[in-house]
Amino acid sequence: MAAYFRLFIVIVVLLPVTFVLMPVQYLAIMFFPAISRKIPLYWHRLALLLVGTKVFVRGQLPDEKPLLIVVNHLSWSDILVLGSVMELCFIAKDEVKSWPGINVLARLQRTVFVNRGKRSDSGNQVNTVAARLLEGDRMVLFAEGTTSSGHRVLSFKSALFGAAQYALKESHLESVTVQPVAIAYTHLFGMPLGRYHQTQASWPGDIPLGPHLINFLKKGAYDVEVVFGEPLVINSETSRREVARITENRVSMMFRKAMRGDYIKGADSGGAEK
């Protein structure tokens, strides 16, 4: 009963708020860029509050710009979680443009869509991400290129790391900050998820989006760790493959520590609930 009540609250509160904010956000994107970055932040926080998801931030949130945030990817809900922490824009796979409803929300968050299957488009995509970095947007790259089962961090793809270097070439800047971040769904209703129950939160992609979304909203009461690691400062000579390797190692380490509960126990914790 509680699950259906939670779903009802999300529908009767979040949907009207969303419809009211959509034209406001559209106008903000056109005329008030600073405001257009803040509206999604508060929308994500409201969504998680209604669903019952708690986000615990560990480590130091970065202030640097340009900033490319590199994070592992477990589910569509990562957007809600990360978007509730700070003002962000996302780099998403091209097929998201065909997802009804979600495609509209993604565009209103000024998402950059990329088609990793078309090498002929890779140059334009890198240029687009680089331009957004130079405009001051903090861009989020799900470097695995897909969602995972939640058991481990997959190998990072190096292609879009080139956007940070291209931003350097097109500006007077000497460096760009690359921020590794790990996201881990650790508890549901206060009980540890562990390896066996990770599929409750993760969305590997072989499950239809609709049923997984409804199931997530009905359960909702997840505890999620968002861990900010040591950033990398790169220049125009830095190898993007090396950046991918280093960030993958750091994100993997932070993910394992989060799943073990090290941050909850007090090891290396320095964040707060959002």
pLDDT at res. 269: 47
Residue by residue, pLDDT tens for the chain (274 residues) are 666 777 788 889 999 999 999 999 999 999 999 999 999 999 999 999 998 899 999 999 998 888 999 999 998 899 999 999 999 999 988 888 878 788 899 999 999 988 766 555 556 678 888 888 888 899 999 998 888 777 889 999 888 788 887 788 777 788 889 999 999 999 988 888 877 777 778 887 667 777 777 778 777 789 999 999 999 998 888 888 999 999 999 999 999 999 988 987 665 545 556 6
Tell me the backbone φ, ψ of residue 57, rounded to 5 degrees.
Answer: -95, 130
Q: Does the residue 271 lie in any domain? A: no
Cis check: omega of the bond before 66, within 30 degrees of 0: yes
Q: Does the residue 265 lie in any domain? A: no
List the structure tokens of 121: 């488009």
- Residue 49: which CATH number? 3.40.1130
Q: Does the residue 155 lie in any domain? A: yes
Residue type, 150: G
How many domains, the chain?
1
Q: Does the residue 222 lie in any domain? A: yes
Residue 12 in 3-state DSSP? helix
| Residue-number span of the structural domain to which 166 is assigned | 2-260
CB of 148 closer than 8 Å to CB of 204: yes
Q: Does the residue 117 lie in any domain? A: yes
Q: Does the residue 267 lie in any domain? A: no
Whether this prediction's pTM lies above 0.95 is answered by: no
Q: Report the 3 state secondary structure along 179-238.
A: EEEEEEEEEECCEECCCCCHHHCCCCCCCCHHHHHHHHHHHCCEEEEEEECCCEEECCCC
Closest CA relative to residue 251, chosen from 274, 273, 232: 232
Residue 45: alpha-carbon gap to chain centroid? 14
Q: Does the residue 191 lie in any domain? A: yes
Phi-psi sector, 211: left (phi>0), alpha (psi -120 to 50), beta: alpha
Give the span between the Cα atoms of 112 and 52, in whole angstroms: 29
